[in-house]
Amino acid sequence: MKPIARLLALPFLAAIAFLGYAYGSLYFAGYLFPRVVPRPYVEMLSAAAVGSLVAGMLVALPLLKLFPTRYPLAALVVASPFMVIRGSDLAHYLGKNETRIVVMSVSEFVIYPAGIILLCWLASRFLPQLRHEA
C-alpha cells in the first residue's frame, strides 16, 4: 500500500478508536456501577481501562497490517487526538482545585495510548503473520 494511503488511514483509525473508547467505557460503567455523583475513582479508572482496551482491539490489527514495523509510533498518532483533549483538560483545570478532573486527565492521558500500544504488541506477538509488509 502506498505511504500516502497509509497516512490517510490514521485519522479514520483515530476516530474508530475514540468511538470504541467512548462506547466501551460508558457501557462498562453503566452496567457494572450504580449512577452516583460524584463517581468513584474505581469506576472512572476501570471504565478508562476497559475503554482503552476496546479502542486497542478495534485498531490493533489495521495498525499492524499498515505499519508492521512502526506500529507503536502509529498507535501514538492514533491516540494523539484523545491525548490533546485530555492535555487541554489538564491545562485548564490544573490550578482550579478540581482534583478529580486533574487525576482523571492524567490517568486517561497515560491509560489510553498504553492500552492501544499493549493490544498492538499482543497482536504482533500472537499473530506474527500480520507483521509482514502490506
Where does residue 5 rank: exposed (0-12), middle (13-18), buried (19+ CB within 10 A)? Answer: exposed
How many domains does one find in the chain? 1
Q: Which residues contact 3 (CB under 8 A, 6 or more apart)?
A: none
Question: Is the pLDDT score of 130 beyond 70?
Answer: no
Quick check: 134 pLDDT over 60?
A: no
**Average pLDDT in the 122-133 region?**
79
Cα–Cα nearest to 9, from 53, 65, 57: 65
The range of the structural domain enclosing residue 29 comes to 3-131
8-61: per-residue pLDDT in tens? 999 999 999 999 999 999 999 989 998 888 889 999 999 999 999 999 999 999
Report helix angle 99-126 to 71-93, nearest 10: 180
Mean pLDDT score across all residues of the chain: 92
The proportion of the chain whose per-residue pLDDT surpasses 90, expressed as a percent, equals 78
Q: What is the mean pLDDT of residues 111-121?
A: 96
